[in-house]
Structure 1
Amino acid sequence: RRGNSPVKESGHVLILGWSSKAVEVISLLAQRHRRPRVVILGPRDVSDMQESLRSSGAYGLGAKIVLRSGSPANHHELERVACADARSVMVVSTPLDGGDADIEAVKTLLALASFPWKGQRPKVACEIASARGIDVARAASHGAVPIVSSGEVVSRILFQASRQSGIAAIYDEIFSFTGAGIHIRKVPRCAGLRFGDIEYAFPRAVLMGISTAAKRADGSERYDFLLAPERSRAIAADEWLIFLAHTDAITDDLDRPVFRSTVAMPKAYLLLPTDGSSGGNGEPASTVFTSEISRAEKYLPPPRERILVLGWNDNIHDLLAEHDACVGSQTEITVVSAFDEGAARAQLAQRGAPKRLKTAFVQGDARSRTGIKSLAPQEYDCIVVLADASHRSPDPDAATVMSLVMVRDALRGRQTRPRLVAEILDPLNAGVVSGLEIDDLVISPRVVSQQLVQISQQAMLADIYRELLSSGGVEIYLKPASRYVVPGRSCSFNDLVYSAQRLREVALGVRIARDRAKPGGGLQLNPPKDSRWDFADGDMVVVLAEELYDRRA
């Protein structure tokens, strides 16, 4: 009961460190496994951890939870929680009063690197709070442990949500264990076939990309991957396929005569296209399927947007940096917090202020009606409400709820309103804000815990997730259905796959506007290839693409 005795478990999941993410990790494991066994070693009193788990409902999730109090950076403590017998190990960043939350995580990685393992080391994944700590964490683990930066993940999702409505729900499904997720499989019969052809070979899965594994000099594995490759790219015999699917049991139609080797195998550079062809040049998108209603409208003018950010926390630095790198002078951002302009710019300068982004900083309180109305929120294209730390509220989520209520009140009765993005820290508050007309809700501990659990079981996913969330690479977008098929014509998912290929994109699913009020918000990821729709205004296609806008001068 006091947490002093050795743990007599094997094959358990071991959490090293303590934060609110522990509850989310337990919840995700309970979704994936029947009665999972979870051992937590944290630098907190067992009674305090028990109370946190009890109040959050963790004990009702069906998991067996064993708590031990101690330092995860101590070899003796690691032996006490049967670290060597664990199935997987997750290191979580532990908040310290007035200190760096990543210090304990880095010390734990050093302890794990020097731990006398009896046999094969269990799979390990680590969370680092700040993106600044990623390089230190990688060095501490000799590059052998995949790292999730919670600040980087949350800020990048907030950034993408501020650009396009509905993106947070897509990532929530892909990162979770329910719905469509990323699966990696080797399919030997695809060797020699073109990527653009075999996109049609999997009736219940979307082919997203290809991957290879190689050995580093120290013997550890390195994973290279390519998302949304050229449609003419041939699959090599030693390559793996990256899918978006609802299950590991991915079936194929490769027995059909139409699937045959039509191109020579590449002789070198396995992750490069075999020729210089590209989409949108009039060539057939595939030799397997042809669409009669395909459209491929490539150009979208980049909009000039004004964004209002209410609140300030550590994510503001990465959020502004993402806007600065990706959209730059096309966007104006006003940040409202407890800091005046001088103090706000001084804090940003410590980590590098935006160079191209137009920014303004206002000292104010978004929780008051007067404060909100003085900002003229109706004049903005998007409003982002952060879990504010600048006013030092004991309950940041309460401040977020109050700000959202004031924003809704200020916009009441208007025919058009800005997109609304909100960040909360406690998943239990999701129901509280559900009626406040939020377009994208980001629950910070949940999205970070989802990634941590996933990569603790499959390390390759860490780099794929990072690529999807990085600006400037291959990302997920929602684009108007009218770009892909002739309006007024019934279309199948294969028609969308065909049109996306012509644009060097990969179709992942659709979002139907008339179903936005239904569970799931009208989102359909990885629909069967024979699914059909009659698209209307507001319907969107979810795609993997290099960028949202064609930035021609």
Structure 2
Amino acid sequence: MRNPLKEIRERLRYLLDRVFAREFSGQLIFFIVLVVLVTLLGMSAVFIGLFDQENLAVEGVPTKIDRGFWDAMWWSLNHVLNLRGFQRMYGASLPIVLYALLLSILGLAVFGVLVSLINNTMRRRIESLRAGETPVWEKGHVLILGWNNKIISILQQLARLSPGARVVILAPEEIQAMENRLRVAGIQNEPITTILRTGVPSNLRELDRVAVDRAASIIILSTDGDDRDSIKTLVLLAGREDWPGTRPTLTCEIAREENYELAMIAARDRVQIISSSRVISKVIVQTIRNPGLADVYHELFSISGNSLHVLEAPELAGRTLGELALGFRDGVPVGVAWEQPVEGGVRLAAGLNPGADYDLLEEEQLVLLAESPQVGFKEPGEEYQCTVARDGGSQPRVPKRLLLIGWNDMVYDILKELDAHALRGTAITVLSGVEPGKARSLIAAKIHYSLKNVELEFRQGDGSDARAYEDVDLAEFESLVLLADDSWGSDDADTHTLRVLLRLSSLPWLEARRPHTTVELLDHANRDLLAGLGVDDVVVSPDIVSAQAAQVSRESILGPIYKELLSAGGVEISLRPAGDYVALDTDCRFDDLTWSAQQKMEIALGLRFSDTGQVLLNPSRESVWRLTGDDRIIVLAQQVYR
């Protein structure tokens, strides 16, 4: 049975919806009806003594017309509309009263329109300010064009490198969404100022709005992994010739490897290009070959700790890098950098590990691994004599059996890099949400040559489901790699990675034999969640790329240095057995490691202790250790390809 009151309420609600749907005409009718109804309600005061003797002396009670209907309506209407001019017309002739009422209502409407205009203008102004539509009047600021998951790490790096910096962000995102993301990450507590603007970075007018002419450095980010806008912005800025002052340092991230070559063409040697896919795949493969290397990169690219710096020291010209390595007590020389003249300007170039007998030229800069650029040089004494050096030649290798769980755009570069380092016959099994036939087609489309050393097997299955491992002999694998998987369409790849690790930890085969496990994460905040799950190395991919972008934007010479460090065929950071360098269980210092590494055309960067897993880069020259066969020496060495 229907409720009559409920039905009445629904009909009234529907009537109001229809009235306001008709905009002005409907709302005007509603206003008139409302005034009439409320006025009639006010006239009912007659029945509660409006014209009683005790109220007749009150100034606000009219009595000159009839002390009845008309006086009651006058009294009620003036209370409803509160029209001052109309109130003073009491007792006038009917035409004058009606005319005064019309003028008063029109005056009320005019006043209402004025209030509405002011209100709307203020509201639009506030919305415009919130939307970031006003021009930016900064100078010498860092300009970030685009938005992705690396933005937080970039801002944290900039806060560390340049406290007090002013950072302007132009991205095709809502201001409120960007503000919320920065607030959750705690950027408001960092010593930088962020200014947000919504817009399209590849639009010249939008760039003028964020003072692109006055920026000290510009970072172009790949928005949501799509390089289309990045390349358009890159073409726009790299081809510009009419900079009013010094050309700002330009850095551009390219997410997809297939776009890297086009980006390099568009850059014209004027922009530092960072291929996030190439960089991360390189780090992951190096970590597979060198267990523990992820911690080295974590410190190298972290907000605190040792990182790469460039030092201008013309007074050291003529000295060899071997002499300099023993003279710096709080830094490790790893290479040289210089400016190379090209058509239309200069190009920055760098060479890492040129050899201990390389003479530093006056026009060259020294590349150092140190906690800060302020390092001290002590004149070395007599030629250093190392009494504990040992000769060995261990090389890192790719495991013969490897299980790769997950699928994303980096899988192609990872497979190419693994093939370059692996011995012939190395078996790689890929478990993901991609159907095997489609996976082979994708590999064939992205890798335009036959992989010579690795044999691929593709399986479709969810790594967090035990059924995916039913017919897989997991005990045969020497190494596990978990990628940030996007093959299942999940918005939170890290959560899926955690579920896979939980599943793997429950399998009985791990109790007998635990392979080396490397995990890719997209958010460093999730790193602590992996404790106790058997993870050996964690690669937080956005942090590595964002650290490069931030550091290169501040010091452009670091661009070719990182390119040399993380490019195929160059040098690489490697972890080698301590017994290849010094006598085991014998007192040694870092100078001993430095001298011994120089004999192998390598540069000693630090140590990794097997008992604690601690990574020690650029250690104190006064420390003394007794190393074991499981300890590792961190060196910068030439890559060896099979």
Bin for the TM-score computed over the shorter chain: 0.7 to 0.9
Equivalent position SS for 1:365 = coil
- 2:330 counterpart residue number: 204
Q: CA–CA distance in 1 between the matches of 2:510 and 2:459? A: 26
CA contact (8 A) 1:4 1:69 kept: yes
> What TM-score does the superposition give when structure 1 sets the normalisation length?
0.88
Equivalent position SS for 1:329 = coil
Q: Does 1:355 align with 2:451?
A: yes
Q: CA–CA distance in 2 between the matches of 1:299 and 1:478? A: 10
- 1:292 counterpart residue number: 387
- 2:463 counterpart residue number: 366
Q: Per chain length, whose mean CA-contact separation is higher, i.e. which structure has more relative contact order (CA < 8 Å, sep 6+)?
A: 1
Shift of 1:377: 2.8
Q: CA–CA distance in 1 between the matches of 2:460 and 2:355? A: 49
Q: Which amino acid aligns with 1:321?
A: K
Q: Deviations over 1:357-399 (max 9, x none)?
A: 2111111110112324543333211100011111112321111
Q: Deviations over 1:526-552 (max 9, x none)?
A: 112232111124211000111368x6x
- 2:547 counterpart residue number: 450
Match of 1:312 among 388, 398, 407: 407
Shift of 1:330: 5.4
Shift of 1:220: 2.6
CA contact (8 A) 1:493 1:529 kept: yes
- 1:346 counterpart residue number: 441
Q: CA–CA distance in 2 between the matches of 1:250 and 1:423? A: 34
Match of 2:374 among 225, 237, 249: 249
- 2:268 counterpart residue number: 142
Equivalent position SS for 1:414 = helix
CA distance 1:54–1:509, change in 2 (3 Å): same
Q: Deviations over 1:31-61 (max 9, x none)?
A: 2233432211001222222233233333343
CA distance 1:486–1:210, change in 2 (3 Å): same
CA distance 1:545–1:148, change in 2 (3 Å): same
* Aligned pairs for 1:96-115 within 5 A: 101-115=226-240
Q: Which amino acid aligns with 1:355?
A: L
Shift of 1:177: 4.0
Equivalent position SS for 1:515 = coil
Computed over aligned residues only, the root mean square deviation of the Cα atoms, in angstroms, reads: 2.0
Gaps of 5+ in 1: 259-287, 517-521
* Aligned pairs for 1:420-431 within 5 A: 420-431=517-528
Q: Which amino acid aligns with 1:530?
A: E
* Aligned pairs for 1:115-134 within 5 A: 115=240, 116-134=242-260
Q: Does 1:235 align with 2:365?
A: no
CA contact (8 A) 2:394 2:580 kept: no
Q: CA–CA distance in 2 between the matches of 1:183 and 1:198? A: 15
Q: Deviations over 1:429-482 (max 9, x none)?
A: 222223322111111211110011111122222222122223432110011111
458-467 or 496-505, which deviates more: 458-467
Q: CA–CA distance in 2 between the matches of 1:411 and 1:60? A: 46
Shift of 1:334: 0.6
Q: CA–CA distance in 1 between the matches of 2:521 and 2:392? A: 37
Q: Which amino acid aligns with 1:546?
A: Q
Shift of 1:91: 0.5
- 1:155 counterpart residue number: 281
CA contact (8 A) 2:202 2:236 kept: yes
Q: Does 1:532 align with 2:624?
A: yes
Q: CA–CA distance in 1 between the matches of 2:444 and 2:174? A: 38
CA contact (8 A) 2:474 2:509 kept: no
Q: CA–CA distance in 2 between the matches of 1:182 and 1:301? A: 24
- 1:324 counterpart residue number: 419
Equivalent position SS for 1:198 = helix
Equivalent position SS for 2:271 = coil
Equivalent position SS for 1:384 = strand
Q: CA–CA distance in 2 between the matches of 1:51 and 1:235? A: 49
Q: Which amino acid aligns with 2:392?
A: E
Q: CA–CA distance in 1 between the matches of 2:398 and 2:493? A: 32
CA contact (8 A) 1:372 1:407 kept: no
> What TM-score does the superposition give when structure 2 sets the normalisation length?
0.76
Q: Does 1:174 align with 2:300?
A: yes
Q: CA–CA distance in 2 between the matches of 1:33 and 1:460? A: 17
CA contact (8 A) 2:521 2:539 kept: yes
Q: Percent identity?
A: 35
Q: CA–CA distance in 2 between the matches of 1:303 and 1:152? A: 18
* Aligned pairs for 1:78-89 within 5 A: 78-89=207-218
Shift of 1:127: 0.5
CA distance 1:303–1:70, change in 2 (3 Å): closer
More helix by share: 2
CA contact (8 A) 2:152 2:187 kept: yes
For the pair shown, which has the larger CA radius of gyration, 1 or 2?
2
Q: CA–CA distance in 2 between the matches of 1:117 and 1:328? A: 52
Equivalent position SS for 1:393 = coil
Match of 1:34 among 163, 188, 210: 163
Q: CA–CA distance in 1 between the matches of 2:160 and 2:220? A: 20
Equivalent position SS for 2:233 = helix
- 1:382 counterpart residue number: 479
Q: CA–CA distance in 1 between the matches of 2:394 and 2:141? A: 52
- 2:291 counterpart residue number: 165
CA contact (8 A) 2:351 2:561 kept: no
Equivalent position SS for 1:334 = strand
CA distance 1:537–1:45, change in 2 (3 Å): same
